[in-house]
Structures are given as structure tokens and as C-alpha cells.
Structure 1
Amino acid sequence: MKLAAHITFFHSPERLPYLLKVIEELLKIDENIDIYIYTNKRFTISSKENMHYKIFNYRKFKFARFLKNSLVDKLGIKWLVHPFYLAWENRRFIEELVDEYDVQLYLEDDIEFKKENFDYWLKYKELALKNDFNLGFLRIEKDKNNRSLLTDVNWPLKDLIELEEQKFLINDLNPYCGFWIYDRKELKDFTKSPEWQFNFTGYGVRAKAAVGWHGVNMNRYKSTIIPLVQSNGTLSTHPGSSVHHLPNNYIGKGRYCTLEFPLKLPAV
């Protein structure tokens, strides 16, 4: 299986540790994964920063120029483009590469996508897709007591669906999770959709890049669903469905991070 990951990184020394952690976990999925970094400032990830990273094959890292469109580039007025549009740069490259990989994913630079997340996706994605559902993930943050708290879902999810004797929890509240992952067929269809060209509303510039094809009010999927596992008379969201938002910076801010992961329901 040939994999590619695309990461937007607006250069900041303070955020570099998050990027390195994201890359570290991707390499655990497959040491041959191709990683494309889209940045506003060319930089080098060297073994001097962290000896663990001497395993990197630097030829795998490719840097795109920061431009919103060719006119802006030709006129030399890139400074007029809001930096958030850097998150849109990857799509012209992904479209060119769509036939070269079995699986591609796009991540914000602080979303920790681990091997257990990939294994979870492989296990359930076909069942979800053939029934026109999106297999969901839940972004979490860790508090000072190491509790896992939901970043984006701030109201209990209760609606269930069963597919081939597997129970799923429906997330129509907020399916955003800071990244997306699709196999070749699904991605090819995505690139032909209006949403690929960002023709949808309800999200900011950066979130538009990361929401993928499963945002609220999009029509590709019936719903976003998360498999449930049963233990001791309780149904819980699958552990592989959680991805860590590394900065933990939503904790204590308004409605965010009020529910614990995993979400639990009485077994039925």
C-alpha cells in the first residue's frame, strides 16, 4: 500500500515540535510514507534537532511555494494574500498525484494521527463507504490530569445506527477533526466535486482545507458515524477514533472540551 500525507506548516519555531511529533507518528504507520509539507519558508528538518529523526529520508519532503493563484505569483504581490490560504496550496499537488497513491491524507500541523488511527480507518472504512457514510474521528485534547476531552463536540451524541451487526454512533453535530483521509477512488471523486474547489460555506479558510468532504451540509455522505465497542454493559466510542490536537489550547475556553472521550452509552 502506497501512502502520502500532506501537511500545512506556516513556519513558526514554537510550532515545530508539533510538526515533528506528527511526522514521527506518520512514520510509524509506514516508514516509506511520502510526506509533503506546504510552508511559507523553506527549512530543514535535521537530526541535530532531535536524533530520533535521523531516520528521515529528506527526499520525501517536498516544499510548495506560497501562492494563492498564478496571477498573484506573477505580479509579485504574495504579501497581499492572507496567510491562512497556505492551507489551500496542497490541493493542486494532490490532484496531480491522485493516481500515484492508494491512500492520501491531509493534516493540520498539530493533529497527531497514529498507527492505531490508521488501523481503525482500514477496519471500518469499507463498511461505512458502501453504505454511504463517512467514518468519523473525534479530536481530543489532554488536560493537566491527562483526561481526554472532546475539542469539537460539545453536546452528547445519542443517535445510533447498526450496519452488519456493528453499532455506530452518529455525529451530525460537528464532524470536523482537523484532517481527512481517503482511498484513491474516494479521493478521485472528491477532486471532481464542488467542495474540492472550496465551493461551500460554514467554515473559515483553514478549516475549509481540513474538513474534507464530510462537513456539515455537504451531500456526499448520509452522516458521519463512529463505531462503538461494548464492555461491561457499556457502549463506548472506538479508541482508534480519537486524534490528539497537540497544543491542548481549547481547554477552558467556552463551550470547548466539556465532554470526556470515550463517549459512553448504555448497551442496548
Structure 2
Amino acid sequence: MSTPDRAEALADLERAAAVPGWLAEQVEADAAADRFSLWGRSTVVDENTGSPVISEALFAELHRMAGLDAVWPIGNAGLLHVYGYLLSTVDTPYGRKRDRWLGGGVARAFGLPDDAFAPWFVAPWFVASAARDSTPLERVVTVAMPYVEDPAGGDATLMWVDERGPGPATDTHDTFARTVIVQARSGATALLYAVGTGGSLLLVTLFPLAWSASDRDGAAWLAAIEAGVPRLRYNAIDGRNVASAQLVDRRVSRREG
């Protein structure tokens, strides 16, 4: 698998009319390792703007490369939120979707180097695999899944919220959603989100959190999370192909110590 340098990757992503060859190799490597099975489903239509973050053609091409079936606009969350976001040139109220991976916001929340989840070559920083042979999605999964599965055991966990609600009419399992807020000693903070059924959680997204000038320590934002109405969030799709579906039971926890 070839890995671009930073300048090459940034130039290719700015063009984004087609999937660069090196990124296609990364997608194919993740597909061969079955890493997309660790992710749930998401709509490509951003809940803030109401518009797709990538074109239908790119959506179809990415899923073809990954060997995944998908019907626009609903696809694999890992494919869309990692590779689709890297290719997205759409501006949102929070900047471009790719900024979370290229700007280091998510990485810093785990106490990692800024380029820990970038698509270019990074210095080795975890034991699971040599950096030159790893993909950004692989590195995201390696870091995020332990927090999804056991937020209480995560060194960087600040708080987490578990929500449940009705599943599909043909399914006896309820939809289960988990929000995890992580924070490094530096104060860098990020949100992880996962959704599943029957007790099995699949990743949906990760993004950095930035507080407003009037909420410097994030207390108001975190209080709003604690008091939020139970529902699916962050473009996640349930088994009925519904985004923002209503949930019911809600439990908020904070890591002790």
C-alpha cells in the first residue's frame, strides 16, 4: 500500500473530483481486513446543512472500492466519515468535514500527535501496526473502539450517555446509542458516537469539540448534552433507515477520578 506525503495528499484532496489512487488503496486495505464491519450506517446528507457532503458519484465509487452495497444517500459510516469526509470540499458551520482528521482536533483529544489520523505517513505511535502499513481508518478504530466498548475504563473519558429506543418492527432488539466525550490533559476534547442493536455497538463518527467564548470550559455545552432529548444524532441511521429517530431511555455517566 502506497502512502503519500503531506503535500501530495493535500493537493489530491483539494481536487477531489475522483478518488486518488493512494486513497483507493487505503480503502481496499480496510475492506480486505473487514474493518468497515466495525462501523454502522450513516446518511451522507449533513444534518446541519441539509446537503450531501460528497457527490453521488463519489459515494458510489467509494462503496464500490470497499465492496459494500449501499443505496444513496445511506452508506457505511466509516467509509463516509473517514474517506468521504477527507474528499469533501463542502463548507459547514463547523468548517470542512476533513478538518477533524487533517487539523488534529480529534487526535489531540486522545493526547496524540496532530497527524495521528491523517492519510499520509505518520511516525509510529501505536503498537498494533507499523505506521506505513496502516490506514487512517485503522488508526481511528484502534483508538476509538476501546472507548465505545468500555467508556468507564478509558483514560481520557470525561462522560458518556447511553440511550435506547424502539428497533425495527421486524427486530426484537432496541436501538442502542452511546455518546462518549473524551478529553486530554491539555483540555482538547472530542466526541465519539456509536449505534447498534442487541448490545453490539458500531462506530458512527468522531469529531473535535470547541467551546464558545461565553462557555470557556465547556460546562454549558456538557450540561446541554446531559439534558438532551433522547434521539439518534450525527447523521446515524437506524434499522428502519431513519435519521434522528426518537429514543427513550437515557442514562448519563461520568468517569470517577
Answer 1 or 2: which has greater strand percent.
1
> Greater relative contact order: 1 or 2 (C-alpha under 8 angstroms, separation 6 or more)?
1
- Between structure 1 and structure 2, the one with the greater Rg is 1
Question: Scaled by the length of structure 1, what TM-score is found?
Answer: 0.27
Question: Scaled by the length of structure 2, what TM-score is found?
Answer: 0.28
